Amino acid sequence: MHVRTFRKLLSAVAATALASLALTAPAHAAPAPAAKAVPVGQPVLAVSQVTGNYLLPDDTKGNVGTYLQVYPSEQPTWNNQWQFDVVAYSDGRPVYQLKSSPGGACATDENGADSISYLRVCSRGNKGQWWLLTPVPGTDPQNPDYGIVSYVHEDVALTARGEGDNWVDLKKMWGGSPSARQGWHFYPA
């Protein structure tokens, strides 16, 4: 066999082996990108798009043991902010913790539908502190409002009960999607 023919044969065998390895190697899917318009890992203000009220902890600082509420203000005087941190992926979707700042506690679903969400000590393993961000149908697809949906009870979302100084409840999402009252918009703090 000629040297040139041997080299061609060797090159063909190597190319076939590499192609077969590429086809049989397990694919590692990249994590899904974070939701549009949600600055992950950065401080944000959360505003109910129906009431125009801010999402706040009752103590305005975000300490453990306080509950979530909405509060109106044209010029906020508090320094509470929120941060979404990715803690897992589920079916390719990022799963978040909703952490208050400066208090550092996390919003928690303890009792499902028709209950209040309290701030508790953050624990990445506590699935009651895991939240999905689901776009609200009918909002701008390029910059949507989001429902903050419980991971453990995927049929409920944080809901502004009403205008003014009021509770935030976990309410059912009828039809499987968050309603306008369950929609929140996030603004860089």
Residue spans of the chain under pLDDT 70: 1-37, 75
The count of other CB atoms within 10 Å of the CB of residue 105 is 23
Query: Strand (E) positions, 102-145?
Result: 106-108, 115-116, 118-120, 131-135
Residue in 73, 59, 37, 79 with CA at minimum distance from that of residue 183: 37
Structural domains in the chain, CATH included, are 44-188 (2.80.10.50)
Residue-level pLDDT at 102: 87
Residue 165 identity (one-letter amino acid): D
Residue-level pLDDT at 9: 40
27-61 confidence digits (pLDDT tens): 334 444 455 667 788 999 999 988 889 999 988 88
Q: φ, ψ for residue 113 (rounded to 5)?
A: -55, 145
| Burial (Cβ within 10 Å: 0-12, 13-18, ≥19) of residue 153 | middle
Residues 28 and 111: their CA atoms lie apart, in Å, by: 36
Residue-level pLDDT at 4: 41
Residue-level pLDDT at 74: 73
CB 166 within 8 A of CB 69: yes
Residue-level pLDDT at 121: 98
Residue-level pLDDT at 75: 67
Residues 155 and 48: their CA atoms lie apart, in Å, by: 19
Residue-level pLDDT at 90: 94
Residue-level pLDDT at 80: 83
SS3 151: coil
**How remote is the C-alpha of 100 from its chain's centroid?**
14
SS3 157: strand
Residue-level pLDDT at 88: 96
Residue-level pLDDT at 37: 64
